[in-house]
Amino acid sequence: MSLKYKKVIITGATGGIGNSLVKRFAEEGAIILATGTKEEKLNDLKKNFSSIQIAKFNLEEHSTIESFIESAVQKLGGLDILVNNAGINLDSLTIRMSEENWKKVLDINLTSTFLMCKSAIKKMIKNKSGKIINITSIVGHTGNFGQTNYSASKAGTVAFSKSLALEYAKKNININCVSPGFIKTEMTDKIPEEYKKMLINKIPAGDLGTGDDVSNCVVFLASDKANYINGETIHVNGGMYMA
């Protein structure tokens, strides 16, 4: 699955899954631009993977996304792969959820993905090829208590990706999703142990997944071995949800 010299943008690169994505793409020889909102964590990432480029960027700033893609392409010398991994959650019961928190999650998780894809595809059309992988979530398929905004944003990303795949398949651009279940990250580390045990009991594999479980799947979809896969969602959840 060599991705040597392929130019890749990875958003949300400083989180648990993001770190694994950077590691796996670096192992495959890709030329990487890793983005995130936390400069200190980006610098730490650069120390661990000296060959990558880093850029602090806030996806909430929708009006700057097109210019960001433009500058990213100049830094990388092109664009072959986009991995939309960044996202946030602001959880609460629906009747307590503010409209502001509803909009913020949708704006970052869904609208930013739309705008990133839109700008990236313009570059990929010129290249006559490209791969986009959008990271969604198991709760976009199952729903989840206290996560109506997050679940809606991830379900929307799946439907958006399918429509996008239909529009650009003939341009040799593949758009797919990877839908993680519950993965060992800083976020899941904060789950109370009692609730975590309840979660694990629902997972046939008997444990939470790892960032590598997700990134291995993403690397496959980004490679030439996945050229005939388009508009799909691959679930990485230990059997918790079987589509």
150 is catalytic: yes
| Averaged pLDDT, 220-240 | 98
pLDDT band at 190 (very low <50, low <70, confident <90, very high): confident
What mean pLDDT is predicted for residues 83-111? 97
Confidence check: pLDDT of 1 > 80: no
Average of per-residue pLDDT across 36-62: 96
Quick check: 21 pLDDT over 80?
yes
- Angle (CA) 208 9 57, round 5°: 90
CB 10 within 8 A of CB 41: no
Please state, in angstroms and as integers, the Cα–Cα distance from residue 43 to each residue in 21, 125, 160, following that order.
16, 32, 33
Give the confidence band of 187 by pLDDT, cuts at 50, 70, 90: confident
- Domains, the chain, with CATH or none: 7-183+211-236 (3.40.50.720)
Q: In terms of C-beta density within 10 A (0-12 exposed, 13-18 middle, 19 or more buried), how is residue 100 classed?
A: exposed
H/E element holding 53? strand 53-56
**pLDDT confidence bin for 58, thresholds 50/70/90:** very high
Q: Residue 243: pLDDT above 90?
A: no
Assign 33 a pLDDT band (cuts: 50, 70, 90): very high
How much is the pTM?
0.96
Q: What is the pLDDT of residue 203?
A: 96
Tell me the percentage of the chain whose pLDDT exceeds 70: 100
Residue 192 has pLDDT above 90, yes or no: no
Mean pLDDT of 10-23: 96
In the set 5, 150, 168, 195, the catalytic residue is 150
Stated length of the chain: 243
pLDDT tier at 188, thresholds 50, 70, 90? confident
